[in-house]
Amino acid sequence: MNRTVLSIAKRAAATVQKSASAAPNSKLFVAGLSWSVDEKSLKDAFSSFGDVTEVRIMYDKDSGRSRGFGFVNFSKEDEAICAKDAMDGKALLGRPLRISFALERVRGGPVIVPRLSDSGDDYNRNG
């Protein structure tokens, strides 16, 4: 029984890991941004790798402060790949960047949550 649960857990973790990693594309997700980074400084940091078509930093709607992440779009996929490989882990204004390929944002799409057991009986019990 324990081996079955462990096997299911391993399969679920592998599925989540595969679905969470995005295929290369021309849009990068950039995390670890300092609060002092603005769109211009982020564009300047990435423009040496190719034609940056758009830069967006996400801000908190209440405080107006940066949420510490943003997106950098390139005109070509190979430019984004080069930028990711070169800049991932490098410091920008004193903070190391964590860069990955952006996932496509889907509104109203299904949320997939892996289950660790084959049945939902554990969740439906009272007591």
pLDDT tens digits, residue range 6-58? 555 555 444 444 444 568 899 999 999 999 999 999 999 999 999 999 999 99
- What letter would DSSP give residue 101? E
Render pLDDT for 97-127 as a digit per residue (tens, 0 to 9). 999 999 876 666 665 666 665 555 555 555 5
- What letter would DSSP give residue 43? H
Sheet with strand 52-59: strands edge to edge = 52-59, 66-74, 27-31, 98-101
User: Do residues 27 and 39 touch, judged by C-beta distance below 8 A?
Assistant: no
At 29, list the tokens: 């997700």
Let me know if 36 is exposed, middle or buried by CB neighbors in 10 A (0-12, 13-18, 19+): exposed
Integer Cα distance of 9 and 99 in angstroms: 28
Three-state secondary structure call for residue 41: helix
At 102, list the tokens: 């952006």
Give mean pLDDT, residues 87-101: 95
